[in-house]
Amino acid sequence: MFIDKVKIFIKAGDGGNGSASLHAEKYVPNGGPDGGDGGKGGDVIFVATSAENTLNEFHYQKHFRAGNGGNGGSKNCYGKKGADIIVKVPVGTVIKNIDGEIIADMFQDGQQQVILSGGRGGRGNYHFKTSRRQSPSFAEHGVKTQEYEVVLELKTIADVGLVGFPNVGKSTLLSVVSQAKPKIANYHFTTLSPNLGVVNYYDNTFVMADIPGLIEGASEGAGLGHSFLRHIERTRLLVHVLDISGSEQRDPLQDFELINNEIYSYDAALKRLPMIVVANKMDMPCAEENLRRFTDKYGDKYTIVPMTTIIHEGVNQLIAEIARQLAELPPLQPLEFTPVALEQQHSDDFAVEILEPDVFEVVGGLVETLSRKINLDDYDSFGYFQRVLKERGVISELRKAGAHDGSTVIVGDVEFDFVD
Ligand SMILES: Nc1nc2c(ncn2[C@@H]2O[C@H](COP(=O)(O)OP(=O)(O)OP(=O)(O)O)[C@@H](O)[C@H]2O)c(=O)[nH]1
Ligand SMILES: [Mg+2]
């Protein structure tokens, strides 16, 4: 199983509610409001790690929720902050919303990004104390957060991408130049998911990615298809491995054209990547002759490195050539995009709709904000709510729409009689 694209669900913590406590102490009448603020909900934080190179973990765990903020208490006690949740993703993971817009590119090992922030805690009742309202018996609710779906898409980041037909020796090459231990076997499609290896060369290190073999029609889905080519999009250089001996009765010259064709029909922009050709399996019959033919045709355009990978022949020359070319290439850059935020900002606008004669509903962002903020269970708080409606011009809009004494008004979950 190799998962490089997955949908997961994330939710920041709700803000804790503010407390509506009134100070109570022996011999102290009317001690006044002492309800503390609710705590902020925890954040959803993504962290990029090079310890992983698949999204397989997310097959098992798809829900990530940060902790909720604690409620405020009496004696002005603040609610506890909700615990953040850390979501670890492999370096190269692109986080998108369900419309496919990019939220973040987790490009660098250790990169941290807050993708959702926790809801604000509600204010305790002492915030609402005024000269006329000495003992407010209401407090703000914490901001309740929403769950969001996000799509994670892994676009491996490596300096070098290995491409070629199945069974030509790509994984063997990776195993010889790095500590990576990919599976190697004498059949097609031994490699089913990209492998990464770190190559050391004097003071340089670079990352090499071995991707599953391609065949003709891969860009239309043949073999393992072309989806793995996503993992060479973010490389700086390609190494095209050929079985130069043609041991499987294919002509290496044709192989070369064919694979290039698959790569560039997947994404023409990949033509920008320099390509080194490895003429592998030089130990086999016909290799010399085919190499001559290949060099005659492509020698001017490509650096060709003859190799017998299984006995490490040609390896040093190849690594030196890769290091030399990489030194002249610009470093990899994160994707260029205008980040979109996952959370929609609630506007404070509203509209009055007439549901039926004498029944009016107030809709819009303001309603959302109000219902998140205000606890309407008690009389005091309801008064506050009505005052906000008046200040924001909702009452006059209702009146304009035809509301009069006794009309029914619906605001979010609340229904009340209009009083002019
Ligand atoms: N004779 C010879 N055989 C080689 C050489 N390099 C690799 N092989 C053999 O070729 C076979 C395929 O090697 P892999 O490294 O698994 O090939 P691959 O390109 O990764 O194949 P897929 O993962 O299927 O795409 C294995 O049996 C290797 O031992 C070589 O230089 N000479
Ligand atoms: Mg392989």
Looking up residue 291, the CATH number of its domain turns out to be 3.40.50.300
In a domain, 343, yes or no: no
**CA 164 to centroid of ligand 2, rounded, Å:** 10
11 near 44, Cβ under 8 Å? yes
Identify which ligand lies nearest to the alpha carbon of 188: 1
Quick check: CB of 191 below 6 Å from ligand 1? yes
pLDDT tens column, 115-129: 999 998 988 888 877
Q: Which residues fall inside 5 Å of ion ligand 2, going by CB?
A: 171, 190-191
**CA 253 to centroid of ligand 2, rounded, Å:** 21
| R_g over Cα of the chain | 32
> pLDDT category, 62, cuts 50, 70, 90?
very high
Contacts (Cβ under 8 Å, ≥6 apart) of 372: 141, 143, 144
In a domain, 284, yes or no: yes
In a domain, 359, yes or no: yes
* Residue whose CB lies within 8 A of the most ligand 1 atoms, among 173, 190, 318, for a mutation test: 190
Contacts (Cβ under 8 Å, ≥6 apart) of 114: 43, 44, 45
**CA 187 to centroid of ligand 1, rounded, Å:** 8
User: Cα 332 to the chain's mean position, in Å?
Assistant: 19
Ligand 1 nearest-atom number relative to CA 313: 31
CATH of the domain at 359: 3.30.300.350
Same domain, 204 and 316: yes
**Residue ending a domain, choose from 154, 186, 203:** 154
> Using the 8-state DSSP alphabet, how is residue 310 labeled?
G
Indicate the number of domains in the chain: 3
CA distances, 43 to each of 28, 87, 113 (Å): 41, 11, 10
**Residue ending a domain, choose from 328, 362, 394:** 328
CATH of the domain at 121: 2.70.210.12
Q: What string of H, E and C letters represents the secondary structure of 247-271?
A: CCCCCHHHHHHHHHHHHHHHCHHHH
69 near 121, Cβ under 8 Å? yes
Same domain, 404 and 293: no
Q: What is the pTM of this model?
A: 0.76
pLDDT tens column, 165-220: 999 999 999 999 998 888 898 888 888 888 889 999 988 889 999 988 888 888 77
> Using the 8-state DSSP alphabet, how is residue 382 labeled?
H
Is the pLDDT at 136 greater than 80? The verdict is no
Residue 30, Cβ neighbours under 10 Å: how many? 9
**Residue ending a domain, choose from 96, 119, 154:** 154
Same domain, 164 and 299: yes
In a domain, 72, yes or no: yes
> pLDDT category, 259, cuts 50, 70, 90?
very high
In a domain, 315, yes or no: yes
Is the pLDDT at 333 greater than 70? The verdict is yes
Same domain, 241 and 314: yes
> pLDDT category, 346, cuts 50, 70, 90?
low
Return the residue whose CA atom lies nearest to atom 8 of ligand 1: 169
Structural domain including 125 reads: 5-154
